[in-house]
Structure 1
Amino acid sequence: MTDPVISLKDATLSLQGNAGLVQILHGISLDVHKGETLGLVGPSGSGKSSLLMLMGGLERASSGRITALGHDLSNMNEDQLARLRRDHFGVVFQSFHLIPTMTALENVAAPLELAGRADAYERAAEELAAVGLAGRAEHYPSQLSGGEQQRVALARAAAPRPDIVLADEPTGNLDGATGASIIELLFDLSRRHGATMILVTHAPDLAARCDRVVELVDGRLSESAGVPA
């Protein structure tokens, strides 16, 4: 088997709260391989989103080691982490995080422009078309439905052709039918670009679509972690 694209070795996360230091994650060891779709499940407050943030370098581990695409995240500064995410990660959150003063096309093109891509708008238009929004490119977020805004967020995540897609409850703010269509697009994004995808979800039927499912309970991997879905 090839080297993992993401590897965690005894990773922990502690955060300072009002009542003192709170241990969020305990000794997480996990490998994720190229092209794999991994579902992260567990009860609310179990640490799923925190684990996703560690994988993307959006949160720093308190101890242990995390590597992504061969880079040791603990040895990288904030600028280096930002460039790594810009060039290799696509991130989709429950909240859409679109820039309200930019059109759909401009929102999708923004990370490509930051990366210096000369074809930023052409590629952005392609990705909007791929999620069925070619006719809404000039609309602002306030003029789009929740489902359309999430489609724009998916197009933005797909536009840099990421190696890794991190998705945190991407259908949490959507109704059932709209959420189902977003999930189809998300898995299609992963297939089209051969991306590794890590998906945080509360939905067992959604997790079952992943190649593998990992369960977190009280910040620890459960005994069944890593069992294929």
Structure 2
Amino acid sequence: MGMAEPILALDGAQLTLAGNAGPVEVLRGITLTVERGQSVGLIGPSGSGKSSLLMLMGGLERPTAGTVRALGHDLGAMDEDALARFRRGSMGVVFQSFHLIPTMTALENVALPLELAGAADAFDRAEAELRAVGLGHRLDHVPAQLSGGEQQRVALARAVVSRPEILLADEPTGNLDAANGAAVMDLLFDLRDRHGATLIMVTHAPELAARCDRVVRLLDGRIAADGVAA
């Protein structure tokens, strides 16, 4: 074949979680491949499994059945330490709630993944990334001193500072007003373009999904539609 292996490949991936009334089938057999550099919007009603699918792709949840492969690695077969190392080196994740460390400055928050990876130039690279998202004047501010839009930009800078090949975003504009949301989306696509990352984004906003190369619609834990953005 000689074909490059897809950057993400799910084969019959299922996720069953323990619920109060017994097991809940969250994902019911997802088969999906994503090519390197592609941007994919995950859409669907609340409870359709979008965020859970993103968690599987990021190795934050393990499939109950089926396989999830990322960059050629079977995520379900890796132990927690190996998964953590893999995520740190290859994945950038941006959540709707920014998950910044409140006692750390913007610069320290962004430098953290690089410090964990043992990079000597962590702070220089963090500063460069914050400048790239327009926050050069906010390096020493802690999250409480920043607006929501600024906090999300810090979270974006932290997600991309280690140059991940896969960027996962879960409703990245969900807590922002329209103007800040648009600015954060422009940044996200700009980062994808600058670093050639593969972008997978959960969103409820049709205009954001439409900016992706491909839109996958989930319904009740299954893929209901998969195609080029309209």
Shift of 1:226: 3.1
Partner of 2:171: 169
Partner of 1:209: 211
**Does the aligned pair in 1 maintain the 2:211–2:229 contact within 8 Å?**
no
Q: So what's the TM-score if we normalise by structure 2?
A: 0.98
Partner of 1:83: 85
Q: Distance in 1 between matches of 2:67 and 2:141?
A: 43
**Does the aligned pair in 1 maintain the 2:93–2:167 contact within 8 Å?**
yes
Other structure's SS at 2:226 match: coil
**Does the aligned pair in 1 maintain the 2:10–2:66 contact within 8 Å?**
yes
- Number of aligned positions between the proteins: 228
Partner of 1:13: 15
Q: Which runs of 5+ in 2 are unaligned?
A: none
Shift of 1:228: 4.2
Q: So what's the TM-score if we normalise by structure 1?
A: 0.98
Partner of 1:98: 100
Q: Distance in 2 between matches of 1:6 and 1:169?
A: 20
Q: CA RMSD in A?
A: 0.8
Q: Distance in 1 between matches of 2:228 and 2:157?
A: 31
Q: Distance in 2 between matches of 1:227 and 1:88?
A: 26
Other structure's SS at 2:68 match: strand
Deviations 1:65-104 (A, max 9, x none): 1100010011100110000010011000000000011000
Runs of 4+ in 1 over 4 A off after TM superposition: none
Deviations 1:122-160 (A, max 9, x none): 000000000000010000000000000000000001100
Q: Distance in 1 between matches of 2:63 and 2:38?
A: 23
Partner of 1:225: 226
Aligned-residue sequence identity (percent) comes to: 68
Residue identity in the other structure for 1:102: M
Partner of 1:65: 67
Q: Which runs of 5+ in 1 are unaligned?
A: none
Residue identity in the other structure for 1:151: R
Q: Distance in 2 between matches of 1:133 and 1:228?
A: 32
Shift of 1:227: 3.7
Q: Distance in 2 between matches of 1:199 and 1:102?
A: 27
Q: Distance in 2 between matches of 1:97 and 1:203?
A: 22
Q: Alpha carbons of 1:228 and 1:177: their partners in 2 closer, same or farther (altered >3 Å)?
A: closer
Task: Answer yes or no: is 1:42 the counterpart of 2:52.
Answer: no
**Does the aligned pair in 1 maintain the 2:209–2:229 contact within 8 Å?**
no
Q: Distance in 1 between matches of 2:186 and 2:178?
A: 12
